[in-house]
């Protein structure tokens, strides 16, 4: 994050959207300039009372729908990734996908950070689904993600953003249109792990 420059910070105390108590939650809005990408607005809401935390990143420019594709490998783990709240993130070879939903967050991370988030989601799934088939699938997925984090093997990172506000900040990124058939079907449901069976 060292290259990024925060140009403007605005803090205020607001009503907590979760517990509803007036004047308790802190709202922090930061304008951040990301090299080779532009200005984004990062909003964080924190409530001391109930522990509610939500953060979001929005690009200050409105763009066309876009698909960002990058090969995940040892050399791209540290590549900067901006994921807006409206983006679908997937790694088709491993069968994992996170779709936008009411609770989804925008964030700035790197490829390794994306993999770590998927790792966390799969570990959660391992606790939630106890049948043998789900356990087997989730463990296989987890092992594949962990190999990629170690820099072993390759896979494809795809970010589909209907508002074009995400980005993968790399000369190697391929930016393309989202095929209209797929754009129509881009979900706004809850985050989930794709069924591999
Ligand atoms: Zn609260």
| Domains of the chain, CATH where assigned | 5-59 (2.20.25), 66-185 (2.60.120.1040)
Residue 98 Cα, ligand 1 centroid: separation in angstroms?
26
* Residues at Cβ < 5 Å from ligand 1 ion: 16, 18-19, 47, 49-50, 52
Residue 24 Cα, ligand 1 centroid: separation in angstroms?
7
Would you say residue 187 has pLDDT above 70?
Answer: no
Mean pLDDT, the chain, rounded, equals 87
Q: What's the gap between Cα 64 and its chain centre?
A: 19
Residue 13 Cα, ligand 1 centroid: separation in angstroms?
12
Structural tokens at position 184:
């129509």
Would you say residue 116 has pLDDT above 70?
Answer: yes
Residue 81, burial from CB neighbour count under 10 angstroms (0-12, 13-18, 19+): buried
Write out pLDDT tens, residues 39-52.
888 889 999 999 99
Taking the model in full, what pTM does it have? 0.74
């Amino acid at each position: 994050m060292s290259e990024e420059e925060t140009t403007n910070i605005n803090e205020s105390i607001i009503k907590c959207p979760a517990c509803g108590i007036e004047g308790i939650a802190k709202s922090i809005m930061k304008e951040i300039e990301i090299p080779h990408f532009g200005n984004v607005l990062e909003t964080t809401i924190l409530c001391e009372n109930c522990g509610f935390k939500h953060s979001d990143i929005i690009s200050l420019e409105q763009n066309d729908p876009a698909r960002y594709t990058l090969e995940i490998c040892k050399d791209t783990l540290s590549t900067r990734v901006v994921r807006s709240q409206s983006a679908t993130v997937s790694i088709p070879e491993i069968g994992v996908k996170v779709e936008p939903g009411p609770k989804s967050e925008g964030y700035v991370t790197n490829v390794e950070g994306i993999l770590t988030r998927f790792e966390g989601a799969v570990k959660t799934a391992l606790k939630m689904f106890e049948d043998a088939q789900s356990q087997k699938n989730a463990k296989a997925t987890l092992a594949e993600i962990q190999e990629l984090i170690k820099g072993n093997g390759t896979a494809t990172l795809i970010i589909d953003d209907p508002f074009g506000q995400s980005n993968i900040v790399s000369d190697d990124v391929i930016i393309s249109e989202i095929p209209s058939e797929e754009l129509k079907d881009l979900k706004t449901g809850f985050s989930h792990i794709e069924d591999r069976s």
